[in-house]
Amino acid sequence: MAKKEKVIRFEKVFSQDSGLSSPGFCIFVDKETGVNYIYSYWGETGGLTPLLDKDGKPVITQDGKELL
């Protein structure tokens, strides 16, 4: 039986963390769709949402470049 190859769909492209008692965030890109997501956290709480441009549309990255 062939072994299934592990595929990593999301890639972390940016991270900012100010320390344990401060909020931080990361930006992830879905490698299949190009949609960017922002993950914001503080301590043990956090949330994930699509990253939107000034017109309210999802930010899309393709081949490492943001599509406008």
What residues contact 31, with CB distance under 8 A and at least 6 apart? 8, 9, 10, 11
Give pLDDT tens digits for 2-53: 777 888 999 999 999 877 678 899 999 999 999 999 999 988 889 999 999 9
pTM: 0.79
For the chain, the structural domain boundaries read 10-67
